[in-house]
Amino acid sequence: MVSEEGAQSISEPAVVGDYVLRSKLGEGAYSTVWRSEHRATGETVALKQVRLSSLSRQIRSCLDCEISFLSSVNHPNIVRLLDVLQADGCIYLVMEFCAGGSLAAYIKVHGRVQETIARRFMQQLGAGMEVVRSHFIIHRDLKPENILLSGPEEDRVLKIADFGLSRIVLPGNSADMVCGSPLYMAPEVLLFQRYDEKVQFFLNFFTAIHHIVVRLTFSAFVQLLKNIRSSTSLPFSGLILKELHPDCIDMCSRLLCVNPARRLSFEEFYWHGFLQTKRLGI
């Protein structure tokens, strides 16, 4: 699921099913991701090891949602689930390996990317989210670290990954569990309010916009969190780079609207003029 950058090799590789665990790619509260190889074919994959004993009822439900959703989709902008294994009190999700690493790593190397690349990434994010939305899934932890890249450097393909906190929210319903990464939470989540699918249009596209088309330092991020919690104004317009295309500025401003009722809907985002430029060959 992620690149080999920062991977920790293990002295005596373990074997799970047909896969040999080669190095640790990352670790979270409930899981560890390993770069692994198929013993017969040599194919490189990412094994997400989930320790069942550490899961609460709610997180186990999220895991079931992740497996069910990924098992049912095959889309270029969503990471592929190849197999599911169970051994020694753990569930292993065999995922495609994305050699391009995460969007976070890409931004760290390249800095703020060009507007044309940002447009392409947002189009791909929108295409993936269209599938997520069609299954009534809310991701709830979409951030640069959970957006992966594959393909050659000059033509990266964005893939939405890590649905470990996802859940189904049917139309007209809402959720109230506070989860995810605070720096990428929508205002209504930070304020412990109930939320629906519009929550992910704030955090999903804030993820894409962060360090791509917005001048936003860490200290500015912290100040935004404070402003949200105190219900003061959020001067997003002052953070958006003035040299950007007017359509880009309009889209960013409307995606980052604090009030979910005024925030862009998915359809409004997907068919926004800024993203249609490339699609229509303008």
pLDDT of residue 41: 97
pLDDT at 8 over 60: no
pLDDT at 234 over 50: no
Query: pLDDT-based confidence at 21, cuts 50/70/90?
Result: very high
Q: How does pLDDT run across 43-84, given as a tens digit for each residue?
A: 999 999 999 998 999 899 999 999 999 999 999 999 999 999
pLDDT of residue 116: 84
Task: Specify the higher pLDDT residue, 263 or 165.
Answer: 165
For residues 118 and 211, give the distance between their C-alpha atoms in angstroms, rounded to a whole number. Answer: 10
For residues 61 and 177, give the distance between their C-alpha atoms in angstroms, rounded to a whole number. Answer: 13
pLDDT at 36 over 60: yes
Query: pLDDT-based confidence at 213, cuts 50/70/90?
Result: low
Report, as residue numbers or ranges, the catalytic residues.
141
Q: List, in order of start, the domains of the chain with CATH numbers.
A: 8-96 (3.30.200.20), 103-279 (1.10.510.10)
pLDDT of residue 189: 52
* % of the chain exceeding 90 in pLDDT: 35
Q: How does pLDDT run across 149-192, given as a tens digit for each residue?
A: 999 988 999 999 999 888 887 765 444 444 445 455 555 555 44
Q: Give, in degrees to the nearest 5, the angle at Cα 270 between 214 and 191.
A: 60
pLDDT at 32 over 70: yes
Query: pLDDT-based confidence at 255, cuts 50/70/90?
Result: confident
Task: Specify the higher pLDDT residue, 189 or 252.
Answer: 252
Q: What is the DSSP string of 202-269?
A: HHHHHHHHBTTTB---HHHHHHHHHHHHTT----GGGTB-TTS-HHHHHHHHHHT-SSTTTSPPHHHH
82: number of Cβ within 10 Å? 16
Contact of 22 with 34, CB cutoff 8 Å: yes
Query: pLDDT-based confidence at 272, cuts 50/70/90?
Result: confident
pLDDT of residue 101: 93
Q: How long is the chain?
A: 282
Binding residues for ATP: 48
pLDDT of residue 28: 83
112: number of Cβ within 10 Å? 16
Binding residues: 48
Residue with tokens 């703020």: 112
pLDDT at 113 over 80: no
For residues 100 and 255, give the distance between their C-alpha atoms in angstroms, rounded to a whole number. Answer: 27
pLDDT at 257 over 80: no
pLDDT of residue 218: 56
